[in-house]
Amino acid sequence: MNGSRESDIVRVSEGLREGKIDHITIESPLSIQIIHENIQYSMGLTMRTPGNDDSLVIGFLYSEGIIEASTDIQEINSTENEICIVLKKSVEFNPSLHTRQDLTTSACGVCGKESLSNLEKLERTKLNNNFQLDSNQVSCNLKSMMSNQPLFKITGGSHAAIAFNQEGGIIASAEDVGRHNALDKLIGMMLVKELIPANEAIIHLSGRASYELVQKSIRAGFPILASVGASSTMAVELAREFNLSLISFLRTDSMVIHSAPNRIR
């Protein structure tokens, strides 16, 4: 399937060796370029799973505060390993605020940023405090999430970001070898459909909740973020500052709520 590749492997189990064909998640570079007022800027090179590259970059630009809507983009040109976004002249773009080093790995989002203070300029978003979910619904979402990761099902090597509405319906979903990429893809998909800010939705992540994943979620307007893994100290601090309901260690029968527990009944 798209996003994976067959590979010869040797499986060893209980002392027995067996040659087999396995599926491995594809990781390949994507060069991101921006053209603004006829000047081209390099946004660096990110490692991602091919597929939905447009959504990935649109979500990334929104999360970085470079665009406010997909209509801020005049044109998108892409090849296999490069994508070039032409911004409309009306967009205020300051390249010095968004400088990264040449390579951003699939495991890293903030990596390459010259200054963490740039991220701390997150607009004081007012998250929907009236959006509430029953804890049983959050657990049901997890079950649905586990059955809606086709790439992970065959590779065991991808992360997922899935947005659910209040009734447990899937709004959008994305998978990638990188956690940050999966979330950017999801945000990009929803931005194009004019579903951002996502003030009536919960975002579920398959891995840990780091500072930047929380930042991206707040920027997109999600009132609740639920992760299967742990949360970092800075993620918890940021969630509390912006009144995001942050859930960690989500299981079908338990969860840990770090902030704004009033949204979970």
Helix (DSSP H) and strand (DSSP E) numbers for the chain? 6, 13
Residues contacting residue 145 through CB under 8 Å, at least 6 positions apart: 160, 162, 204, 206
Q: Residues 84, 108, 111, 140: which is the catalytic one?
A: 108
Q: Is 108 a catalytic residue?
A: yes
SS3 127: coil
CA distance 198 to 56: 17
CA distance 127 to 129: 6
CA distance 65 to 34: 14
Cβ contact 183:59 at 8 Å: yes
Give catalytic residue positions. 108
